[in-house]
């Protein structure tokens, strides 16, 4: 690739491996999950978060997603238990969405693709920093929330949507304080888990995925708001930031697990 990665024909997922060889690894994400093939594992525990709202810092249009950054200099916003050992610190939250409501999520469950997927990225605090953690198999844990179109959208998304106009173009960043991301979680905390990768380059294979089975409900209007972001800078022509999701990757020999009922 001559220019940076993206989602277009010239620099999209089919070409990421040219600059990022991990993208062709055997443990890539996202995957299709078929519930009939999911293993019930009695070892799996419920997961917990403890998020200090004071840890949220900024929200930014990166040109590829909108991303909320958190203070991860100490165990301030943390995820633990579930399939994990130890404590994982929240570093950032970002979102994947489509150009239309019938696509946008990265993971697919029983052939259903939702309108979007929220990723809460945490790193294992036994490592000295994030860059160290992404090189380790147990370095990262991502909690994934599906965004499903429905009639009673989640009011908790409002905080994020309110800032969209302030970060219209690539590179724009504004303060985003006092945000507890656990308000986004659905009522039911049941999850699928498997070992995989980041879905964006360099696609490091360091991620324990915790994918919540129950989607959160969003409206068509809310999804439109995300599509009003531009993947270009303020100086360039408007180019809608849409379809920032990676296609499905082979499961290979991996097992998807869930807690016993």
Interface residue list for Zn ion (CB under 5 A): 119
By C-beta, is 65 or 232 nearer to Zn ion?
A: 65
By C-beta, is 6 or 259 nearer to Zn ion?
A: 6
How buried is 225 (Cβ within 10 angstroms: 0-12 exposed, 13-18 middle, 19+ buried)?
Answer: middle
By C-beta, is 80 or 119 nearer to Zn ion?
A: 119
Smallest distance from Zn ion to CB 94, Å: 5
Smallest distance from Zn ion to CB 161, Å: 18
Smallest distance from Zn ion to CB 30, Å: 9
Distance, CA of 164 to CA of 174 (rounded, Å): 10
By C-beta, is 91 or 119 nearer to Zn ion?
A: 119
Q: Which residues, listed in sequence order, are joined to residue 257 by a DSSP beta bridge?
A: 39, 193
How buried is 144 (Cβ within 10 angstroms: 0-12 exposed, 13-18 middle, 19+ buried)?
Answer: buried
By C-beta, is 64 or 89 nearer to Zn ion?
A: 64
By C-beta, is 84 or 145 nearer to Zn ion?
A: 145
Place of tokens 């945000």: 179
> Which residue has the closest beta carbon to Zn ion?
119
């Amino acid at each position: 690739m001559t220019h940076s990665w993206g989602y277009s024909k010239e620099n999209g997922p089919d070409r990421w491996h040219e600059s990022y060889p991990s993208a062709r690894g055997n443990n890539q994400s996202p995957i299709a999950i078929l519930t009939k093939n999911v293993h019930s594992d009695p070892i799996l525990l419920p997961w917990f978060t403890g998020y200090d709202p004071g840890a949220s810092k900024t929200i930014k249009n990166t040109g590829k997603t909108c991303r909320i950054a958190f203070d991860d200099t100490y165990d301030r916003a943390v995820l633990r238990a579930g399939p994990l050992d130890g404590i994982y610190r929240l570093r950032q939250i970002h979102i994947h969405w489509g150009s239309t409501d019938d696509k946008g999520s990265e993971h697919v469950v029983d052939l259903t693709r939702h309108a979007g997927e929220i990723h809460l990225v945490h790193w294992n605090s036994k490592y000295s920093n994030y860059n160290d953690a992404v090189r380790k198999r147990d370095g990262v844990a991502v909690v994934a929330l599906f965004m499903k179109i429905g009639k009673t959208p989640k009011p908790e998304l409002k905080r994020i949507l309110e800032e969209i106009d302030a970060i219209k173009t690539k590179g724009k960043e504004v303060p985003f304080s006092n945000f507890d991301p656990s308000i986004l979680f659905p009522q039911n905390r049941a999850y699928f888990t498997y070992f995989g990768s980041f879905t964006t380059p360099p696609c490091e294979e360091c991620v324990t995925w915790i994918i919540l089975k129950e989607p959160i409900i969003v409206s068509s209007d809310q999804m439109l708001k995300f599509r009003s972001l531009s993947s270009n800078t303020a100086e360039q022509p408007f180019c809608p930031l849409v379809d920032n999701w990676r296609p499905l990757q082979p499961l290979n020999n991996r097992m998807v697990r869930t807690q016993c009922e």
